[in-house]
Amino acid sequence: MSSFDRHPSTVADFDDARRRERLRETRLGHGWRRWRRPRLVVLRIIGVLAVAMIVFGQYWVHDVVPERERLAQTAPELLPAHLPTDTRNWDTAVVDMVGLGGVNAVPTAAALPALSRLGVVWAVRYDNAGIDTKVIAEMIVRAARYGNVRNIVLVGHSMGGVIALEVARHIHHGSDRRLVAVVLDCTPLDLNAVRPESRSRGADLVRWLGWLPGARESRLLRFAVEMSARRERFEQRRGLFPDIDFGEFRKVAAEVLRDKIFSRDAASNGLIEAQFLAIVAGGGTADLRALGRPDPNKRNPAIVFIRPRDAARDAVVDVDYSHELLIEHSGGVDGTLLVVRPGEIEHANPIQRPREYNAIIESHVLPFVRRYQEANRNDPP
C-alpha cells in the first residue's frame, strides 16, 4: 500500500478546485459585492500611475535637475586660438564658430593656423543653454575694443556659418567695428540646403523637446536620439523585425556616451535645438541681403564660400543649392563673393583635412580677403 493510500487526506490537500478557490479568496476585492469591476479598474489605474510617477521622479531628479543646474552656469566665451603671424595684423581678429552639435570652436580654429596670416584668431564657445547672436556679437565687439582691434573676419563651419551671418549683421550694422569678411564652410543657407537624410537628428530632437518635460536637459533623451541617428551602423532590417549587431551596438553606445553625453564640448539638447531652428528659420539669405545693403560709412564685407568640387562628397549639405543662393544674393558683376572648390574636402571637416584647408586658405582665401582688409585700413576711422 502506497503512502497516498494510507493517508487519503493528502490527496484532498492537492485538490485543484480547492486551490483555485483559495486563490480567489485572497484576491483584492474578493469580498466586494457592489461595483467590484469598476473599483478594480480604478485601483489598477492608480497603481500604474504610481509606478509612472516614481519612474518620472527618478528621471527628473537624476537626469534633468543636475543638467539644468550645470546649464544655468554656462555662458558664451571668446577663447584665444592663434596669435597673428605678422604684428601689423593685430588690428584684425578672425573669429571661428562651429556647427550643429558643437560647442567649442578652439579645436577647429587650432587646425587652421593659416587664418593667423590675417590677424589674431579667436574661437567662440557657445552658451550651452542656447544661442543669442546679439550677445555673441556684443562679446566680440567688446573684446575688439579692449584689444584695439578694428577689423573683424568671421568664419563659420556648416551651421556655424548661419550663426556667423547673423552675428555679422549685428556687427556690421550695429557697431563701430569694420566687418571685413564672412567665410562660410559648407554652410546650409536654409533647410532646403540640408540633405533630407541628414535632417532627422535635429528634427527628432526638436519634436521631442516640444512635449516631453525636461527634454532640453535630458541626457537619456539625447542618448536615444543619437543612437537612432546611428542605427544603420548596428541595425539591419530583414523582414518585420530588425537584426541587431550587439557588438557594433556597444561600440556605438560607447562612442555616443563619450562624445555626446559626458564630453564638456558636446552641445546640450537646447543648444542643438537653437542651432537647428536657426537653419529652419532660413535667416541666412536675409542676413546676406542685409550685409549687401549700401552703407555710407562702411564697405560691404567679402563673402567666401568653401565647398567640395564634387557636391556629392558633402553628405550633409547640398552645397550646389547654397552656392546658387550665394550667387543670387552676393555674386554678380559687382558682387563680393568668392567660391573656393577644392577636390579633397568633404563636409566642413578642417580637423580631418587640415593640410587641404590651410592650403586653400593660403592660395585663395587670403589674397581675396586681404583686398578688403587693406581697403578697410585705408578708410577713415
Residue where one domain finishes, among candidates 73, 93, 111 = 73
**pLDDT value of position 300:** 92
Closest to 129 (Cα-Cα) out of 71, 76, 70: 71
Does residue 231 lie within any of the structural domains? no
Same domain, 111 and 58: no
Same domain, 65 and 149: no
**pLDDT value of position 177:** 94
**pLDDT value of position 149:** 96
Q: Which domain holds residue 58?
A: 18-73
Please name the helix (run of DSSP H) or strand (run of DSSP E) that holds residue 156, with its range, or none.
strand 151-157
**pLDDT value of position 36:** 67
Does residue 299 lie within any of the structural domains? yes
Cell of 298: 562702411
Q: For 246-302, how does the pLDDT look when each residue is reduced to its tens digit (9 = 90+)?
A: 888 899 889 888 877 777 777 776 677 777 777 766 678 889 988 988 888 889 999
Same domain, 56 and 136: no
The answer to whether the CB of 78 falls within 8 A of the CB of 143 is yes
Same domain, 287 and 177: yes
Same domain, 104 and 122: yes
Same domain, 324 and 370: yes
The answer to whether the CB of 166 falls within 8 A of the CB of 278 is yes
**pLDDT value of position 347:** 93
| Entry pTM | 0.77
Does residue 258 lie within any of the structural domains? no
Same domain, 56 and 181: no
Same domain, 67 and 139: no
**pLDDT value of position 214:** 65
Helical spans, DSSP H, in the chain: 3-6, 8-13, 16-26, 36-59, 65-71, 106-110, 133-146, 159-174, 200-209, 219-229, 246-256, 269-280, 283-292, 319-330, 354-360, 366-378
Closest to 117 (Cα-Cα) out of 145, 82, 147, 143: 82
Based on the structure, what is the number of domains in the chain?
2
**Spatial separation of the C-alpha atoms in residues 202 and 191, rounded to whole Å:** 11
Same domain, 330 and 291: yes
Q: Which residues of the chain have pLDDT under 50?
A: 4
Same domain, 158 and 306: yes
**pLDDT value of position 171:** 96
Same domain, 57 and 118: no
Same domain, 108 and 180: yes
Residue where one domain finishes, among candidates 48, 73, 98 = 73
